[in-house]
Amino acid sequence: MVHAGDRYQKRPTIGVLVDWLDNGYQSTVLKGVISEAQANDINVFCFVGRGLEIPDRFADNANFVYNLPVPENVDGLLIFAGNLGYYNSASVVDLCHRYEPLPVVCLGQEIEGVANVVVDNEIGSYEAVNHLITEHGIHRIVYAKGPEGHLEAEQRYLGYLRALHENGIDFDPDLIVSCGFLYAEGKKCARRLLDERRVEFEAVVAASDLLAIGIAGILQERGYRIPEDIAVIGFDDLDVAAAFTPPLATVHQPKSRQGAEGVRLLLSKIRGDSTPDRVDLPTRLMVRRSCGCLSPWITGVEDQVQTDGIANLDDLRRPLPDTILSHITTPIRTSFVKLPASWPSDLLHSFVDSIRDNTSVHFLSTFNRLLDEVIAQGGKISEWQGVISAVRQVMLPALKDDQTIRRAENLFHQARVMISESTFQVQVNKEASSEEQNVLIRQLVFELVSTLHLNEQMMILSEHLPFLGIREGYLALFEDKRWDSEWSRLVMAYTPDNKLIAADEGIRFPTHQLIAADYRVTAASTSYVVLPIFLQDEQIGLLILDLCFESLSAYEIVRAVTSSAIKSEWLYRELQSYSDDLKARVQNVTAELVRSKERAETILDNSPDAILLLDSSRFIETGNSTCETILGCQSNLLAGKHPLSLVANESKDALAMALSQLSESHEPIRLEVIANHRSGHSFDAEIALAPITESGKFNGAVCMIRDITALKDLERVKDALLSTAAHELRTPLTTIRGFTEILLTRELVQDRRTRYLQYINNQSTHLGGLVDNLLDVARIQAGRGLDMSFEPVDIGEVIRMVAQSYDVAGSGHTFKLDNIDDGLRVNGDPLRLDQVVRNLVSNAIKYSPRGGTVTIRIDERDSRAEVSVRDEGIGMSPEVQAHLFERFYRADRSNSAVSGVGLGLTICKQIVEKHGGDIWAESEPGKGSTFTFSIPTVQRE
């Protein structure tokens, strides 16, 4: 691989700093630069920015491109100082000194400390003004002096002042207008003179052709004839000057030569030759119709030339003296056109041959070849009218007889027709190619802006630009989006043989290489245009294209469209990633919402209460699934109903009042109602209403309906217990109190006294049992459970003891013990088991008021002892059986009922379950009941 540095050593590379490409002045100077560069086989990088400190808001950002030339990429710099300093000539001075140690040559403005190619501006305008005064007798001459403070403009102004002074004409400040160099500024100047100052004047000399044309246009609009009423002279000798009607007199400055001299001076500096730091170029007045003169090509026909030593045609066929040759070449000012050095003598010799052979072929074909070459190199054909005049001046003294002279005049005439035809052809071709170019540029722009994908944009560039004659192109993006990024990425490269399109990755290369070293075409010297890609204040990258003079107007458009296409692509990507991000966030939030909704629904649906959401008009909007259990109605069927429809008539008023109070006070409310189940039955319910407010306004409510039947029942049971317990306690107490009173107040026989004491003892035992039961239940309810200590217990023995105690008590029932003698043992608490059996036997007696047999039986089944107590008493309905083991449950709560508090079976169930067993009842009303419990046995030995 060849290192970039080595290559530069082989073929020098120069940088050119220029503010604009397709401007008449810059493009012509540039032509001189490029043709000289090619002649010397060197590369050129044209860094195209804007004028320094240009007042446009973002255009100044283009000037980062002037920071790029460094010794790594160029060997020297040619700076269009006059153009870059258009807005601020001081800043260009700083710029030119910034590149040390690189050799720098400046054009258009002389800068101290660097090398300069200087045009004699002062003499040019002096000649123009002097010409008007001395040749045309004009004294009141307006001077349009160009931008204030611009160095070249000031030099030209000095020429004006000197000419006035030398001719003894007074200076009139009213005749001086200062403005820019451009066409529109000229128009402004003309209006200022005609409408504001209303000054009298006979001529206008302007510091540039564009300025002169702008002024002349307005003068013509106002009816002034040029030059009859007002003569006009410009400066620069642009093509547009010659094309103006009338043709504009101007000061010729050697533009392309300026470029060529600049390159030559720079090369000698690069090589370290000891050349002077300054090259001076002359200017020359070009009189034309607008100053009141005829074109010198017309007037020059009459001029006599010194043609010593040439007396006849033979003299002209020999090698010609330099004076004659240089006379022939003088009209040619376009220095970039390269013709063979022998062309003047070739032309003269071919003329002599044509005269001698009496044929136009020799001369016309030679002249035709020359014209073709000039056209091919983009030279000025009109200059060749001057050449023909010069040839004629040289020839005429050598032509002796009338016939030869006539033959010669015919040849001159044919040559001039040939020039006219070629001018016309060139004009038509120019128009056609500029039209074609416009179409190509339009197509390119249209296609570029219709895609947002960088890859496609670059594909379009690489396909279209070659049609515009731009054969090589490179697009690099700054890695840090700033010109001083150390690295760039080459994302597009096209050459006649290669193409790279890689928007995503690209080739990473050091920014100072400008074109990634491996991709650059190295075969021939090439001139590149380095265009800054930027948008507003963003620095994006560089578009580097080879320089094609036919398409100069395309570069700025391509630069601008590429910048905005890349930026649009970035924005599009940003927008997409933003929208993807947004989408992901929305998805997350939605998922979170769904989760929390599901959680809320789970909580709501698992709530034991029906929960309804009421709207602002207090109608039901929705409800949880518990509604179905509590109200017998699915929540969707409730939607749209009024909550009043859910309560019984007697509760409607209370609920209606609560609802209206809720919307006014915004305070939660609780009330108890009788609610309706859809099946028709009513139940006790508590309703809790909580308002929903939004910005202080009532916007609905949450209505919670709780079934409180069980609570109410419990209350009722408790009420019943209180009366039952009071009654149950009072009966034995009354008995105890009665007998103790008797014992205390009377003398009784021993027998009776013993019996009374027996009564008292029985009743207090009964009382004790009652109190024990209440304590047990209290303990169960408090969650402390019953005290128990387990041991192997002979269950038969327990039953025997209980039965015996009741037998002794003499209840009047017959006791039958069945299958209880085989010593079956269980693991249990003997006292608690006694309590269970005693309870069941006591109930069997209590609830068989007409006596009968109480049968107690043990069965051993699956390692369990099943103990059943059967009576022949009142029995129980299935309804009673369903509630038997509930606390305080009693089938008969009347005063006439058998005594009891409804706790015995509750305690039995607790005890049996603690033994790992079950208890149940079987019964039929009027036929007696059987209560059975089963508990695990201890394994027999």
Residues that bind ligand ADP (CB under 6 A): 843-844, 847, 871, 873-874, 876, 880, 884, 889-892, 900-905, 929
Nearest to 408 by CA among 446, 334, 355: 355
Strand, helix or coil for residue 205: strand
Q: Give the residue closest to ligand ADP by C-beta.
A: 900
Bridge partners (DSSP) of residue 674 are: 684
Residue among 320 and 901 whose Cβ is closer to ligand ADP? 901
Q: Which residue is listed with tokens 């030593």?
A: 309
Residue among 437 and 835 whose Cβ is closer to ligand ADP? 835
The burial class, CB within 10 Å (0-12 / 13-18 / 19+), for 557 is middle
Nearest to 74 by CA among 30, 2, 12: 12
Residue among 75 and 728 whose Cβ is closer to ligand ADP? 728
The distance of closest approach from Cβ of residue 759 to ligand ADP in the complex, given in angstroms and rounded to an integer, is 21
Residue among 447 and 776 whose Cβ is closer to ligand ADP? 776
The distance of closest approach from Cβ of residue 857 to ligand ADP in the complex, given in angstroms and rounded to an integer, is 15
Residue among 480 and 818 whose Cβ is closer to ligand ADP? 818
Residue among 397 and 852 whose Cβ is closer to ligand ADP? 852
The distance of closest approach from Cβ of residue 831 to ligand ADP in the complex, given in angstroms and rounded to an integer, is 18
The distance of closest approach from Cβ of residue 589 to ligand ADP in the complex, given in angstroms and rounded to an integer, is 59
Burial 741-753 (b: 16+ CB within 10 A, else e): eeeeeeeeeeeee
Cα angle, residue 531 at apex, residues 530 and 533 outer, rounded to 5°: 135
The distance of closest approach from Cβ of residue 903 to ligand ADP in the complex, given in angstroms and rounded to an integer, is 6
Element (DSSP H or E) covering residue 89: helix 89-97
Residue among 445 and 880 whose Cβ is closer to ligand ADP? 880
Residue among 643 and 875 whose Cβ is closer to ligand ADP? 875
Element (DSSP H or E) covering residue 509: strand 507-510
Token representation of residue 244: 């103006």
The answer to whether the beta carbons of residues 823 and 799 sit under 8 Å apart is no
Nearest to 126 by CA among 151, 162, 150, 152: 162
Residue among 305 and 714 whose Cβ is closer to ligand ADP? 714
The distance of closest approach from Cβ of residue 871 to ligand ADP in the complex, given in angstroms and rounded to an integer, is 5
The answer to whether the beta carbons of residues 662 and 680 sit under 8 Å apart is no
The distance of closest approach from Cβ of residue 909 to ligand ADP in the complex, given in angstroms and rounded to an integer, is 9
Residue among 159 and 928 whose Cβ is closer to ligand ADP? 928
Task: Give the integer Cα–Cα distance in Å for 329 and 598.
Answer: 97
Element (DSSP H or E) covering residue 861: strand 853-861
The distance of closest approach from Cβ of residue 646 to ligand ADP in the complex, given in angstroms and rounded to an integer, is 36
Token representation of residue 560: 């601008």
The distance of closest approach from Cβ of residue 924 to ligand ADP in the complex, given in angstroms and rounded to an integer, is 10
The distance of closest approach from Cβ of residue 724 to ligand ADP in the complex, given in angstroms and rounded to an integer, is 8
Task: Give the integer Cα–Cα distance in Å for 410 and 687.
Answer: 125
The answer to whether the beta carbons of residues 194 and 200 sit under 8 Å apart is no
Residue among 290 and 923 whose Cβ is closer to ligand ADP? 923
Residue among 798 and 901 whose Cβ is closer to ligand ADP? 901
The distance of closest approach from Cβ of residue 618 to ligand ADP in the complex, given in angstroms and rounded to an integer, is 47
Residue among 113 and 925 whose Cβ is closer to ligand ADP? 925
- Which amino acid, one-letter code, is at 767? L
The distance of closest approach from Cβ of residue 633 to ligand ADP in the complex, given in angstroms and rounded to an integer, is 36
The distance of closest approach from Cβ of residue 911 to ligand ADP in the complex, given in angstroms and rounded to an integer, is 13
Residue among 362 and 890 whose Cβ is closer to ligand ADP? 890
The burial class, CB within 10 Å (0-12 / 13-18 / 19+), for 679 is exposed
Residue among 180 and 928 whose Cβ is closer to ligand ADP? 928
Bridge partners (DSSP) of residue 610 are: 705
Task: Give the integer Cα–Cα distance in Å for 931 and 212.
Answer: 132
- DSSP for 385-414, please give it: HHHHHHHHHHHGGG--SHHHHHHHHHHHHH
Parallel, antiparallel or unpaired: strands 527-535 and 499-501: unpaired
The distance of closest approach from Cβ of residue 795 to ligand ADP in the complex, given in angstroms and rounded to an integer, is 20
The distance of closest approach from Cβ of residue 897 to ligand ADP in the complex, given in angstroms and rounded to an integer, is 8
- Which amino acid, one-letter code, is at 122? E
Parallel, antiparallel or unpaired: strands 620-623 and 610-614: antiparallel
Residue among 389 and 910 whose Cβ is closer to ligand ADP? 910
The distance of closest approach from Cβ of residue 913 to ligand ADP in the complex, given in angstroms and rounded to an integer, is 15
The distance of closest approach from Cβ of residue 893 to ligand ADP in the complex, given in angstroms and rounded to an integer, is 8
Euclidean distance between the first and final Cα of the chain, in Å? Answer: 104
Task: Give the integer Cα–Cα distance in Å for 674 and 655.
Answer: 10
Q: What does the radius of gyration of the chain's CA atoms come to, in whole angstroms? A: 61
The distance of closest approach from Cβ of residue 725 to ligand ADP in the complex, given in angstroms and rounded to an integer, is 11
Nearest to 711 by CA among 685, 673, 692, 741: 685
Q: How many helices (H) and strands (E) does the chain have?
A: 28, 30
Is the bond preceding residue 227 a cis peptide, omega within 30 degrees? Answer: yes
| Contacts by residues 557-561 (CB-CB < 8 Å, ≥ 24 positions apart) | 557/441, 557/445, 558/441, 558/444, 558/461, 558/465, 558/531, 559/48, 559/531, 559/532, 559/533, 561/444, 561/445, 561/448, 561/449
The answer to whether the beta carbons of residues 266 and 105 sit under 8 Å apart is yes
Task: Give the integer Cα–Cα distance in Å for 938 and 823.
Answer: 11
Cα angle, residue 452 at apex, residues 450 and 458 outer, rounded to 5°: 85
Residue among 29 and 869 whose Cβ is closer to ligand ADP? 869
Task: Give the integer Cα–Cα distance in Å for 65 and 71.
Answer: 15
Residue among 275 and 731 whose Cβ is closer to ligand ADP? 731
Task: Give the integer Cα–Cα distance in Å for 131 and 886.
Answer: 135
For residue 497, give the DSSP letter.
Answer: S
